[in-house]
Amino acid sequence: MLRALTLAAALTVASVGAAFAAGDAEHPHDHAFSFDSPVGSYDMGAVQRGYQVYQQVCSTCHAMDHLAYRHLGERNGPFALYMVRNHETGEVEPHVGAPAHGGSFVDVTENQYVRAIAAGVTINAVDPNTGQLTDRPGRISDRFRRPFPNEIAARASNGGAYPVDLSVITSARHGGADYIYALLTGYTGQSRGTLYENPYFPGHYIAMPPPLTEGAVAYSDGSPTTVEQYAADVTHFLQWAADPHMEQRKRTGIVVLAFLLVLAGLMYLSYKHVWRNESH
Amino acid sequence: MSGPSTYEPKSGFTRWLDKRLPIIRLGYDSFVAYPTPRNLNYWWTFGAMLSMCLVVQIVTGVVLAMHYVPHIDMAFASVQRLERDVPYGWLIQNIHAVGASMFFLAVYIHMFRGLYYGSYKAPRELLWILGCVIYVLMVATGFLGYTLPWGQMSFWGATVITNLLGALPIVGESIKNWLSGGFSIDQPTINRFFSLHYLLPFVIAGVVALHVWALHEAGQGNPTGVDVRKASDIPAGEPGDTVPFTPHATMKDLFAAVLFVILFATFVFFMPDALGHADNFIPANPLQTPPEIVPEWYLLPFYAILRAIDFNIGPIDSKLGGVLAMFAAIGVLFVLPWLDTSRIRSMRYRPIARQFFLIFVVVCVILGWCGGQNPGKILVPATFSATLEWVEGGTVTQSPVRAEGEAQWAQAAADAQASQSGAAMTAVTRTSATEGTLRAINGGAVQTRTVTGGTVDELEAAVTEAKAAVGQAAPFFNVTRNTPFTFTVTTLSQIATFYYFFFFLVLLPLLGLRETPGRVPDTIAKPVTKQAQGAA
């Protein structure tokens, strides 16, 4: 009886995942990302390169309204700055990204890298002296610059298609990161009018032209400048953008589960102890 | 049941308090001395977990409400801000969202336990009905809460559900407009849904208090379904049928609750979005209907029942029929105590009812599966076929066809075709309400070809292909389509829905009268001691 009902309950939960089948689109292949496993973390180098790809390619059409430049330099961000003591020279040096051990986190307001990234963007804002709209360099508190002032302008510039906001795109699509990677690398090269064939897109024709071309973004760390590498990096960045607290979430989860398992053991022993003289 | 209170205040202060507000006595009698049957199994531990779930939802919900903005343009962004910028906001939001699923998982187990062990039978009918009230309130609260993030599924789920109520005769339209605060799901909707979502959990808490009160009056049931004996009826030297709630039941509930929290935490920390739908990460867009609209998993069985009624029943159209069936599926639980005619509480001693109960559990899971599928999906392969008929060679003549009015069109077309009795093939193409063209071919050779496909779409593709293959050789085609019976998700839902109601309305009333029950022990102590001896 107990086993039968447990099985039924397990089936209910299991069926949920399978319940939402995708349309006619081809199922994306599993791409190996460092964040896949329950203990996996982000490859911050890839997230940094991915930001570069977003900034130089995607951001010409796609907004990311829910992200601000400061997010890039917070503890879980790709450009988080740490001061680390060099063991050989004894000097304290800046280090972008969490060091393997030690180091003190530099608040994002003091983070020169993130300030430079923000300052490199031109933001359209109200001039505090004249009240007129004017351009100014970005600040870290600014949200990512919107490529178009509104949806109508975005559609008008893109043949009627609306480039979606990418803030949570990996959460908002079946298949998540695998889907984004498959879509970016899945163009067949065929087109029909202003639609481009891509088997991973529902309906097989997408209004977005192939966004990535070999060598379009210059990497400074020597990573290959291929379409596959760009796609993997920008997908990595988008996954981070959708789920910036993933590393903390998983780390906390391990500790919580370890604690609960020990607690369950203690509870079981207490329970047995309380009932030791009672038949039941 | 609980008998006279055994609480004795020990200190001066508690004696003083006990004379004025005996609240410690109430707590002591309810959760410490309260006699609990010694033979309860783990299925009885879900009540405590459900109280825990309610507290967790209220506590996390109150914090979420401090950051949430009930506005159609800002709700989605406020949830994002909460998850990104509020310290541990991601954790609180995940707990609340996963918590809703866990709450329902626990409540379903709790309800199935009640069904199996006959917990709804005298003297616990009101206890069961209060539980049903709590469940209905939970469904409403869960639905309202799912709307608040204002994603695509939130918006379209709200649209579907409010439209359903619009199907009710006479009052439906008013109820629908009253619920959504206008003629569509919009700003007034999100305001009132937020208000109600905040209110209902406290109503649930109130009904839970009544539920626990009724429980403590009647006492807990137990797996044998046999009443526990009063302490005075127990022969000297034998242990009583009950043990004090604390520490015995408390410890067991705590142990089981920790196991439950382990499952809870696994979802919260490692797959927080697994139980939700990806489309809810797309901000609501009233102009774009998502390809599929599905509720959260815990409402899928009722969604399947709703969609199973795809036929009209007399004056009741399919939409209203579906709504009534869905409400009836929950409503039938309220009258269950009077549907089940068996005097035996526990299905342990009802060998036949027990089999039907297990089927019932499977049927509920099947309904849940159906609710998440495309209702038109074909489950058993079927062959759709079509016969194309055309004439090769021959001469085509055209003549106009006119009808006196729209109603006479069919007759006029048939007459026109009949007038060309010598033709090898005729066809009428309608060009307006009362006009058309008759084409007839005289002479030539009639050709036919049959094409098949696994679905309607495949068949149409095959027909188009066949037409292209024949090409110019045929001036026009007559296509006869043969649609076979198809076993779809809807068919499966209909069978499952039938069993759902059959179980409550026919099986339980009849079985109680016809079934020969197994031997029920005289006291709960019998199986207890037997088990203990077996173990020793």
Q: What is the residue extent of each domain of chain B?
A: 1-31, 34-224+242-273+280-287, 294-377+500-536, 383-484
Between B322 and B475, name the one with better pLDDT.
B322
Are residues B532 and A279, on separate chains, in Cβ contact within 8 Å? yes
What is the structure's pLDDT at A233?
97
- Asked if residue A18 has pLDDT above 50, the reply is no
Q: Which of B81, B111, B251 to mutate to test the interface with A (most CBs of A within 10 A)?
A: B251
Minimum distance, in Å, between the CA of residue B219 and any CA atom of chain A: 18
pLDDT digits (tens, 9 = 90+) for B187-215: 999 999 999 999 999 999 999 999 999 99
Q: What is the pLDDT confidence band of residue B528, given thresholds at 50, 70 and 90?
A: low
Minimum distance, in Å, between the CA of residue A246 and any CA atom of chain B: 9
Q: What is the pLDDT confidence band of residue B320, given thresholds at 50, 70 and 90?
A: very high
Q: In this predicted complex, what is the ipTM?
A: 0.89
How many other C-beta atoms can be found within 10 angstroms of the C-beta atom of residue B69?
A: 16
What is the dihedral angle through the alpha carbons of B95, B96, B100, B101, rounded to the nearest 10 degrees? Answer: -30
Q: What is the pLDDT confidence band of residue B527, given thresholds at 50, 70 and 90?
A: low
What is the structure's pLDDT at A1?
43
Question: CA nearest A244 in B: which residue?
Answer: B84
Nearest CB to B255 within list A256, A261, A264? A264
- Asked if residue B153 has pLDDT above 70, the reply is yes
- Asked if residue A15 has pLDDT above 70, the reply is no
Of the listed ranges A43-52, B172-181, B194-203, B525-534, the least confidently predicted one is B525-534
Minimum distance, in Å, between the CA of residue B350 and any CA atom of chain A: 13
State the architecture of B34-224+242-273+280-287 in CATH terms.
Up-down Bundle (1.20)
CA–CA dist A97, A104 (Å, integer): 11
**Residue range B128-139: average pLDDT?**
98
How many other C-beta atoms can be found within 10 angstroms of the C-beta atom of residue A6?
A: 11
**Residue range A227-246: average pLDDT?**
97
Q: What is the pLDDT confidence band of residue B264, given thresholds at 50, 70 and 90?
A: very high
- Asked if residue A129 has pLDDT above 60, the reply is yes
A-chain residues within 8 Å CB-CB of B91? 249, 252
What is the structure's pLDDT at B536?
36
Are residues A257 and B266, on separate chains, in Cβ contact within 8 Å? yes
Q: What is the pLDDT confidence band of residue A280, given thresholds at 50, 70 and 90?
A: low
CA–CA dist A237, A214 (Å, integer): 19
CA–CA dist B405, A22 (Å, integer): 47
What is the structure's pLDDT at B330?
97
What is the structure's pLDDT at B25?
94
CA–CA dist B70, B190 (Å, integer): 6
Between A1 and B305, name the one with better pLDDT.
B305
**B390 by DSSP, 3-state: which?**
strand
Q: What is the pLDDT confidence band of residue A185, given thresholds at 50, 70 and 90?
A: very high
CA–CA dist B331, A78 (Å, integer): 54
What is the structure's pLDDT at B533?
45
- Asked if residue A48 has pLDDT above 90, the reply is yes
Are residues B528 and A12, on separate chains, in Cβ contact within 8 Å? no
Distances (CA, A) of B340 to A167, B176, B202, B478, B501: 54, 35, 32, 58, 13
What is the structure's pLDDT at B1?
45
Q: What percent of chain B has pLDDT over 90?
A: 71
Are residues B251 and A267, on separate chains, in Cβ contact within 8 Å? yes
**Residue range B87-97: average pLDDT?**
97
What value does the mean pLDDT of chain A take? 90
Distances (CA, A) of A23 to A26, A204, B30, B281, B377: 9, 11, 54, 18, 12
A-chain residues within 8 Å CB-CB of B84? 66-67, 71, 244-245
**Residue range A86-92: average pLDDT?**
87
- Asked if residue A145 has pLDDT above 90, the reply is yes
The pair of structure tokens assigned to B192 is 């009132």
What value does the mean pLDDT of chain B take? 92
A-chain residues within 8 Å CB-CB of B266? 253, 257
Q: Please, what sign has the CA dihedral across residues A249, A255, A258, A264?
A: negative
Which amino acid would we find at residue A258?
A
CA–CA dist A142, B183 (Å, integer): 38
Q: Which of B281, B287, B288 to mutate to test the interface with A (most CBs of A within 10 A)?
A: B281
Beta strands in B19-113 (DSSP E): 35-37
What is the structure's pLDDT at A19?
36
- Asked if residue A25 has pLDDT above 80, the reply is yes
Which of the residue ranges A151-165, B406-420, B457-471 has the most confident prediction, judged by mean pLDDT? A151-165
Please, which residues 462-481 of chain B have a Cβ atom closer than 8 Å to chain A? none
pLDDT digits (tens, 9 = 90+) for B464-482: 898 888 887 787 888 888 8
B-chain residues within 8 Å CB-CB of A164? 282
B-chain residues within 8 Å CB-CB of A19? 294, 297, 300, 368-369, 371-373
**Residue range B69-96: average pLDDT?**
97
CA–CA dist B312, B305 (Å, integer): 15
Residue B152 · residue B282 · CB < 8 Å: yes
**Residue range B442-458: average pLDDT?**
86
**Residue range A257-276: average pLDDT?**
97
B-chain residues within 8 Å CB-CB of A202? 291
CA–CA dist B181, B191 (Å, integer): 9
What is the structure's pLDDT at B104?
98
Residue B383 · residue B484 · CB < 8 Å: yes
B440-468 burial, b for 16+ CB within 10 Å, e for fewer? Answer: bbeebeeeeeebebeeeeebbebbeebbe
Between A7 and B222, name the one with better pLDDT.
B222
**Residue range B384-412: average pLDDT?**
85
Minimum distance, in Å, between the CA of residue A245 and any CA atom of chain B: 7
Q: Which of B365, B455, B531 to mutate to test the interface with A (most CBs of A within 10 A)?
A: B365
What is the structure's pLDDT at B224?
93
- Asked if residue B532 has pLDDT above 50, the reply is no
**Residue range A145-165: average pLDDT?**
94
Nearest CB to A8 within list B91, B255, B365? B365
C-alpha angle B446-B447-B450 in degrees, rounded to nearest 5: 140
CA–CA dist A199, B101 (Å, integer): 34
What is the structure's pLDDT at B8?
92
DSSP letters spanning B119-145: TTSTT-HHHHHHHHHHHHHHHHHHHHH
The pair of structure tokens assigned to B275 is 């139980």
Chain A / chain B CB contacts < 8 angstroms: 145
CA–CA dist B356, B503 (Å, integer): 7
Nearest to B146 by CA among B112, B185, B91, B119: B185
Which amino acid would we find at residue A260?
L
pLDDT digits (tens, 9 = 90+) for A59-82: 999 999 999 999 999 999 999 999
CA–CA dist B370, B361 (Å, integer): 14
The phi and psi torsions of B411 (rounded to 5 degrees) equal -65, -45
Are residues B109 and A20, on separate chains, in Cβ contact within 8 Å? no
Sequence-distant (6+) residues with CB within 8 A of B251 are: A267, A270, A271, A274, A275
Nearest CB to B281 within list A18, A172, A263? A172
- Asked if residue B233 has pLDDT above 90, the reply is no
